[in-house]
Copies of this chain bind each other. A is one copy, B any other.
Amino acid sequence: MSRLASWLPILDWGRRYNRDTLAADGVAALIVTIMLIPQSLAYASLAGLPPEVGLYASIVPLVLYAVFGTSRVLAVGPVAVVSLMTAAAIGEHAAVGSAGYAAVAIVLAFLSGAMLLVMGVLRLGFLANFLSHPVISGFITASALLIALGQLKQLLGLRVEGHNALELLQGIVRQLPQTHGLTALVGLATVGFLFWARRGLKPLLRRMGAGPRLADLLAKAGPVLGIALTAWLTWANDWQAQGLKIVGTVPQGLPPLTWPVFDAALWQALLLPALLISVVGFVESVSVGQTLAAKRRQRIEPDRELVALGASNLGAAFSGGFPVTGGFARSVVNFDAGAQTPAAGVFTAVGILLAALLLTPALYFVPQATLAATIVVAVLSLVDFGVLRRTWVYAKADFAAVLATLLATLAIGVEAGLVAGVALSLLLFLFRTSRPHITEVGWVPGTEHFRNPQRHAVALSPRLLGLRVDESLYFANARTLEDRVNAEVAQRPQLQHLVLQCSAVNDIDASALDSLEAIDHRLQDAGIVLHLSEVKGPVMDRLKTTDWLARMRGQVFLTHYQAVQQLAPELLAAADAAPVRSSTPA
């Protein structure tokens, strides 16, 4: 693959395009288009934007992703969590429905796209790794709950304002008596229909004689059916006159050419939200892309994906859209429907373009409550409280990160939640590595192995102490090692040799080297010789650049066994006769 083709994967797959891939991509695109129309309307409304913006965000970005993306099947467009983050970010700078609101959305898409592009070119994709899985889980669950609560007011026809879960919940409970009956009926019935459609529609269609392919296609179209049905009922019964809110006029036509307004204060305020939107969108997109690519033994290139998502978001910014990324459900549908190349994305974009040109009058009577219902059903599948139990059992640090992210997101907001989660998980990681597992090791008789006397029956020498450090030695734990060595030495008056077994030491930084020198120096003062064993190649390479190896009185042994052979041979010789000290029952 040439250098150019590595930046433009379209040159690679485009050259081998033929009628078979065209047919496969075409069918997949049709299914995804049907799925994407209600999603794009709903997520635009979730982001606080007019419905046509959702359609615009599903045209140009898809084409650009097809040109630059390395995933064959990723379906880009508006997604729930990023739309929520968009609403939260814009909400501080413009009122929903104002002209300024859409302008801020465009700035946000532009900044997010530019950041993704720069991160991709500078190969900074690894930065996304600092968003740990527990933080992502906690964040997605909390976001889904926030979204569901926010949509609940639409489902019930209430006017509740709130910036966090508690305010929303209080507002909804307080206003419950003002529930608009017809709105609640339409909304809750749609929720019920959509939940049923997920499980019951496909078997029903099969029983009614539909082929498996058609049944699957129609079942995927559940939200479209719900929208069509409620729109038709609203039109037929003139429900909008009875207070049911409808989508109303959606402008017909091509996406507009837009340009991000420059306002230094606004741009600065949007930097952090844009960064978080970029990272969350990238992480969501890459994990879907990787999972699907692996099923066909393909690969995606995370740094190229950054470029592709960056281009998509810039595309959204210049065509009247808002931040987009690769969506999970939609991509899985694209994959299952047999999409072979990113051309499926281009065909989907054409489908949405036709909808924007021709279909918008048909959207007039769609009830807002129906859109809210499609969102609620989509996001509730993202809620996963099980992660709390799983992390509690597996690792308390991860549990703390989930809980902090979850609570901060619900109580304060999406940005605070992410920042709190990332900060806490980094602090806990640093804390953990700053207190490494250090164990004394004794000889397991009959082997060349050395193990912890707390776990195994081993032979120990009063003259020689073996210590194994289960962590790279770096500044945050160097002093811990010093303390531990001091403590061990202080209680061993007969000690002559200390051997540090370094099999799990992947790095020794300058602070740790200083600590080793200090330990060596202090041990010398106390008449004890410090040795190392099982030092790894890369660590040894680095130690060889210093003069400490020449200055230290002790030796570096290839294996811990060789160290004991040379320094305390009586231990190995007398082991059969001597009593074995151990804290495990004989």
Interface residues of A (CB under 8 A from B): 126, 128-135, 286, 290-291, 293-295, 297-299, 302, 390-391, 393-395, 397-398, 425-426, 429-430, 432-437, 452, 455, 470-472, 474-480, 482-483, 486-487, 489-490, 503-504, 506-507, 509-511, 513-515, 518, 521-523, 525-526, 536-538, 542, 545-546
Using A290-B522, A302-B483, A398-B509 as known contacts, list a sample of 19 further A-B pairs with CB atoms less than 8 Å apart, ordered by residue number in A.
Answer: A126-B434, A126-B435, A126-B476, A126-B480, A129-B475, A129-B478, A290-B482, A293-B486, A294-B525, A299-B486, A394-B510, A398-B510, A425-B475, A429-B430, A429-B476, A433-B472, A470-B538, A471-B506, A503-B504
Residues of chain B contacted by A297 (CB below 8 angstroms): 489-490, 526
- B395 near A510 with CB under 8 A, answer yes
- A506 near B470 with CB under 8 A, answer yes
- B506 near A436 with CB under 8 A, answer yes
Bound together, the chains give a CA A518 to CA B487 distance in angstroms of: 43
Given contacts A294-B525, A297-B489, contact A478 B510 (CB under 8 A): no
Residues of chain B contacted by A482 (CB below 8 angstroms): 290
Most B C-beta atoms less than 10 A away, residue of A298, A394, A397, A477: A394
When C-beta atoms are compared, the residue in chain B nearest to A539 turns out to be B470
- Per assembly, the copies of the chain total 2
Residues of chain B contacted by A504 (CB below 8 angstroms): 503-504, 506, 536
- B522 near A291 with CB under 8 A, answer yes
Bound together, the chains give a CA A435 to CA B436 distance in angstroms of: 20
Residues of chain B contacted by A393 (CB below 8 angstroms): 545-546
When C-beta atoms are compared, the residue in chain B nearest to A479 turns out to be B129
Shortest CB-to-CB span from A262 to chain B, Å, is 31
By Cβ-Cβ distance, the 9 closest A-B pairs, closest first, are: A132-B475, A294-B522, A133-B511, A398-B510, A132-B511, A470-B506, A295-B525, A133-B514, A129-B476
When C-beta atoms are compared, the residue in chain B nearest to A546 turns out to be B394
Residues of chain B contacted by A299 (CB below 8 angstroms): 486-487, 490
Shortest CB-to-CB span from A265 to chain B, Å, is 25
Among B470, B486, B510, point to the contact of A134 (Cβ < 8 A).
B510
Bound together, the chains give a CA A59 to CA B386 distance in angstroms of: 60
When C-beta atoms are compared, the residue in chain B nearest to A491 turns out to be B299
When C-beta atoms are compared, the residue in chain B nearest to A486 turns out to be B299
When C-beta atoms are compared, the residue in chain B nearest to A301 turns out to be B483
Among B128, B294, B513, B515, point to the contact of A394 (Cβ < 8 A).
B513
Among B132, B293, B522, B542, point to the contact of A395 (Cβ < 8 A).
B542
25 contacts between A and B (CB under 8 A): A126-B476, A128-B479, A129-B475, A129-B477, A130-B434, A130-B475, A132-B511, A133-B475, A133-B478, A133-B515, A134-B475, A294-B486, A295-B525, A298-B490, A299-B487, A302-B479, A393-B546, A394-B510, A394-B542, A395-B542, A397-B509, A398-B510, A429-B430, A433-B472, A503-B503
Shortest CB-to-CB span from A113 to chain B, Å, is 22
Bound together, the chains give a CA A475 to CA B137 distance in angstroms of: 13
Residues of chain B contacted by A130 (CB below 8 angstroms): 430, 434, 475-476
Among B425, B474, B479, point to the contact of A429 (Cβ < 8 A).
B474
